[in-house]
Amino acid sequence: MRKVVSLIALAALAACGGTGSGRAYLGGIIEEADINGNFVGVPPEDVQIVRDGVNAVAFGFSRGLDATVVGNSYQASSGDTGNFGVAGIVPGYDVGEPILSGSASLTGDYAFTKITGYEDTSNAANWTEEEFAGSMAATITFDREEADISDPEDPSTAGDVDVYQNDMILTGESVDGRFVVEESPIYDLLNQRDLSAPSVVSDLNITVDGQALSPRNEVVAGQRGVVAAFAGSQDNTIITGGFVLGRDN
């Protein structure tokens, strides 16, 4: 049954078999959902959506899926299967203009699925699956650091600075404290990324029940809020999920 909440998530597979047809895959995949929150190759009944107005994330987990449909990045071939988690931001979001100074307080919802035991057995029926969902609060801060590059012997350079760090920093925690987003840079303005488009970053730092995880992720942030999707496998754990937050101040 499809669940409508207000957030994101998904995870997929990493190869764990021989060569040729018949391989099994496991891992984490970020994919673009369609406007209804569906993914190619993932049955709609296996997808959950976390939503706040036009801002939404979709995520799902499917067992025994044809790996050539979702797992093409793993160079799957006919006969290969996988237990896939998939997550992505739903098109049509509106987080507003970028925050270029100061900070903002945010509140909203998170949701994700945590699966453990895949390193112990290849039989997905014997894995342990937990679902998490609830409210969380977060802070986004504009972190700008500069270095004085003026030349004392050249008055025309007075006040010249070099910006060597210019990040949006996100931190947050669920009400029950089980889900924590450690200090995480969202995007780097020096890289001239399109701030109105999702940014795939490698350092969204998540802790679940004290276990630190760094899944693949996709994040958008702006004056109105933050939308994030994440998916990955690490330390015998697969996590797929995300959060949708709105600005309080």
- pTM comes to 0.78
Indicate if the pLDDT at residue 102 is higher than 60.
yes
Rounded Cα distance between 166 and 86, Å, is: 31
Rounded Cα distance between 190 and 64, Å, is: 42
Question: What's the average model confidence in pLDDT over 44-49?
Answer: 90
Look at residue 7 in the predicted model and tell me its pLDDT: 32
Phi, psi of 46 (to 5 degrees): -100, 10
Question: How confident is the prediction for the chain on average, in pLDDT?
Answer: 78
Question: What's the average model confidence in pLDDT over 154-169?
Answer: 68
Residue 147, judged by CB atoms within 10 A of its CB (0-12, 13-18, 19+), counts as exposed
